[in-house]
Amino acid sequence: MIEGTALVALVLDASVGWPQPLYRRIGHPVGVFARIIATIERRWNAPSRTDGQRRLAGVVTVLILLSAVGGAGWVLQSLCVTFAGAWAWPLIAVLAWPGLAQRSLHDHVRPVAEALERQDIPAARAAVGMIVGRDTGALEEAGIARAAIESLAESFCDGVVAPLFWLLMLGLPGIWAYKAINTADSMIGHREERWRAYGWAAARTDDAMNLGPARLAGLLICLCGGGGWRILWRDASSHASPNAGWPEAAMAGALRLRLAGPIAYDGILSDKPWIGEGDRPAGAEDIRRGLAVYARACLCLWVIAAGIAGGIAWAL
């Protein structure tokens, strides 16, 4: 049942994404998670507390998120099965659909390429600034293009592969528990003084939940990009994250580009190592090529979900 649900959720997301009228009317579930996390953080992450107390508070925060969100997912899935029986899977697909971001990611990256194609650097900076955390005010064309491609590769894991993986593994509790933890990591899982102790548990839990999906994302990008395997194996470990390096190195290899390198955050330059190889600067055409690889990789996930569903149906 869950396997068919996963395929329908993928198709719904790719077809319509999360429509703006719906977003304006009811928001998005991730926004609910963000408000819960922000409320707890304001109360429990007081500067007057010791690092040990703040780390413990962060652990409790993660446990609350996993139990509350996972529990709600289990209740909703059980209600679908109770009231719809064998036809519960379309209802579960609709409830899982907002947890995927195929269409949203594509729709956020494409405007960066379009602005660069018009030679509108300010618009390109504004567009890429909506999807990355680094400073974008001084970026030129190559830096803008690299930022967009890196975000596309990393978000392929966070926004598509990992949610689908946890949906297949644990159903609604899995996909929404993952989204809650991933939201927490993006909000508090940082190394700055304010977050280092309190956000430790969120960052480590997100790392653990992405271990398998990140490697699958890297393999799919190389497979659908027609190469990049050597760069994947060589450079995946060069990234500070134990997971983000896999899809980024795969995309760098598939596009034959250098990604990452020195990046500024809040005015402070971070001397990150380069991933990939090649001397030519990245540009709009490379973003387009990256989007094409991304689309084929998403289609591969459809085939995987359909194959699993068909195999289980045949076995039954």
Residue 273 DSSP code: P
Distance CA 121, CA 117 (A): 9
| pLDDT per residue as tens digits for the range 2-25 | 657 899 999 999 998 888 887 788
Quick check: 199 pLDDT over 60? yes
Distance CA 244, CA 242 (A): 6
Helix 102-117 to helix 284-315 angle (10° resolution) is 160
Number of Cβ within a 10 Å radius of residue 80: 23
The model's pTM = 0.93
Tell me the one-letter amino acid at 189. Answer: G
Distance CA 81, CA 91 (A): 9
Tell me the average pLDDT across 95-111.
96
Q: For the chain, list the strands marked E by DSSP.
A: 258-260, 263-265, 268-270, 274-276
* Contact present, 161 and 301 (Cβ < 8 Å): yes
Quick check: 315 pLDDT over 60? no
Distance CA 292, CA 276 (A): 19
Which residue shows structure tokens 């999807």?
131
Domain ranges for the chain, please list them: 2-315
| pLDDT per residue as tens digits for the range 255-310 | 999 998 878 776 677 778 899 998 899 999 999 999 999 999 999 999 988 887 66
Q: Would you state the pLDDT for residue 191?
A: 83
